[in-house]
A and B are shown apart, each in its own frame.
Chain A
Amino acid sequence: MIEIRDLRRVFGGVVALDGVTLSLGEGERRAVIGPNGAGKTTLINALAGETTPTGGTIRLGGQDITRLRPWQRARLGLAHVFQRTELFAPLSARDNVALAVAARRGPYRLFRAVPRAEYAEAAAVLERVGLAGREGVAARALSHGERRQLELAVALAQRPHVLLLDEPTAGMSPLETARITELIAGLDRALTILIVEHDMDVVFRLADRVTVLHEGRVIADGTAADVRGDVRVHDVYLGKAVTVA
């Protein structure tokens, strides 16, 4: 589904991605872990089109998307949950999701009211992520945890083939984390998921395979069990070894 070949990204003099090669099959759930500054968010942003790679290629379903704009990638079925929540702050949760639903049909529908069906679909997605009853609340009035849920709802409403999750549980309480983890675990198995996450419980619950990034390079790649036992991973996570073990 996704094939990343020799991806590089240099910011000024800093190498954020130093030749990353990675491929995900259809329906695969892959976690990318690594210490801060390993290049995880840069990788997700390069996939979503938020940053232009300095070198290398990215393919989605066989098509080269390396140079495509974010909106073109979204049209091809890529959805992105940002690390720092990106929502329409003054709009209601329902409108936030409805804009994602409407995106599939395009914005050039003039002189007619927004179809009720789009709101109904938005409400259904909100219920799925556990925001039933909060439809009318403005995004900025939601709690941090709720905003992360809404961010996920927005991405799901795009009906993507590939879901990019950049620390979906960041800043959540243990209870909220558990809930959203189960929610992601229960998503359609045909959906390809790439998740960047610090919480190892979440990683091992969700991921089929785990890729470890360090200083912009892949230093380990394998099943959850493989990575758990990999010595190099322990070196990278020195001091954090407890969370990996």
Chain B
Amino acid sequence: MLVALGAAALVTFPYWSAPWASRFATTLLRDALILAIFALSLDLLVGRAGMPSLGHAAFFGGGAYAAGIAGQQLATDQLPVTLGAAALVGAVLALVIGVLVVRSEGIFFLMLTLALAQIVFAIAFQWTAVTGGSNGLSGIGRPMLASIDFSSPDLMYVLVAVTFVLAALVVWGLARSPYGRALIGVRENERRMRALGYDTARLRLSAFVIAGTIAGIAGALSAYSTRFVSAQDAGLGNSVRAFVTVLVGGAGTLGGPIVGSAVVSLIERVVPSILPTDLRISEALLGLVFIGFVLFARQGMAGLGRSAWLRVSRR
């Protein structure tokens, strides 16, 4: 009930906040929610199944390009088509990359995901005829559902917020299901899981495909929000950004990636507006925060919150 009210409040934010909040707040929240969807999908891999992927941007970028290119090539603005294309491309890319990586572990997994995502980036960067290459892809169509046009800032926000709520519900539903618990089993002891009769490679692959699909949709939303797709959307920097978001928020929790995206957005967007304009150090701040969490609070904000709650409730 409380969750439903919260979700309704979130989705309608631009309307009830209009008297006191600026349009900047709506844009900021929209981009934070896109990052949250992206981070939630990565956390399925990093937090639940224990797969530290440094290549998740491949699916985000793939989805962004797919939505833009599908709209142009098929001459349609209809969201079911373009978002569907984004989800499909995210899923297929994740299937292909997943098949190759699910048997690797630890540092090798990390490097392999990085290398494979770099192939996707290289294709996006160099296949100018289709992706626009280093100039990026512009001319993204309007996000239309039947005859509703979501391209106004407020409606674009609503589209993103609704998708976010759905994505969070999906991840929550997966996490509490036998499937989600099996992923945790793979994370904690793959050998034991195999001995119990779980095909762990297939389990990991399925998580990869689900995560890639959601990331692809996040990418499409990003393409619609900025009306532009850059090869960097599929680049290492974007993968790192999602990874930082998950770890700062707290891997393996539902709230973690969401809180993490709020923190990252604050550092990336709000802090620079406070600092003098010639001081552009938000990446460095993000790096410092990340280092702090890896060193002192590996469970992220969610872990800090949990231990603080335990301390209070024990009294």
- B188 CB, nearest partner CB in chain A, Å: 4
Q: Complex formed: what's the CA distance from A82 to B198 in Å? A: 17
Counting contact residues on chain B (CB < 8 A from A), the size range is: 20 to 34
Residues of A within 8 A of B170 (CB): 111
With A48-B195, A71-B200 as contacts: A110 and B179 at CB distance below 8 Å: yes
Contact B195 A80 (CB under 8 A): yes
Residues of A within 8 A of B203 (CB): 107
Contact with B along A25-36 (1 / 0, CB 8 A): 000000000000
- A120 CB, nearest partner CB in chain B, Å: 15
Residues of A within 8 A of B177 (CB): 109-114
Q: Which of A58-66, A89-97, A127-135, A235-243 contacts B (4 or more CB under 8 A)?
A: A89-97
Task: Say yes or no: is A216 at the interface (Cβ < 8 Å to chain B).
Answer: no
List B176-202 residues whose CB lies under 8 Å from chain A: 176-179, 181-182, 184-185, 188-189, 191-200
Contact B206 A108 (CB under 8 A): yes
Contact B197 A113 (CB under 8 A): no
Contact B182 A110 (CB under 8 A): no
- B223 CB, nearest partner CB in chain A, Å: 28
- A72 CB, nearest partner CB in chain B, Å: 8
Q: Complex formed: what's the CA distance from A89 to B176 in Å? A: 19
List A105-155 residues whose CB lies under 8 Å from chain B: 105, 107-115, 118, 154
- B203 CB, nearest partner CB in chain A, Å: 6
Contact B173 A103 (CB under 8 A): no
Interface residues of B, dominant DSSP: helix
Residues of A within 8 A of B189 (CB): 86-89
Contact A114 B178 (CB under 8 A): yes
Q: Complex formed: what's the CA distance from A102 to B189 in Å? A: 16
Contact A103 B179 (CB under 8 A): no
Q: Complex formed: what's the CA distance from A244 to B195 in Å? A: 32
Task: Say yes or no: is A232 at the interface (Cβ < 8 Å to chain B).
Answer: no
19 interchain pairs (CB within 8 A)?
A71-B198, A74-B196, A80-B195, A82-B192, A86-B195, A88-B188, A89-B188, A95-B181, A99-B182, A105-B178, A107-B178, A109-B179, A110-B174, A111-B174, A113-B177, A114-B177, A114-B181, A118-B178, A154-B196
Give me the interface of A with B, judged by CB distance under 8 Å. Answer: 48, 50, 69-72, 74-75, 79-80, 82, 86-91, 95, 98-100, 102-105, 107-115, 118, 154, 158
Nearest first, the 7 closest Cβ-Cβ pairs linking A and B are: A74-B197, A107-B182, A111-B173, A88-B188, A103-B196, A86-B192, A70-B194
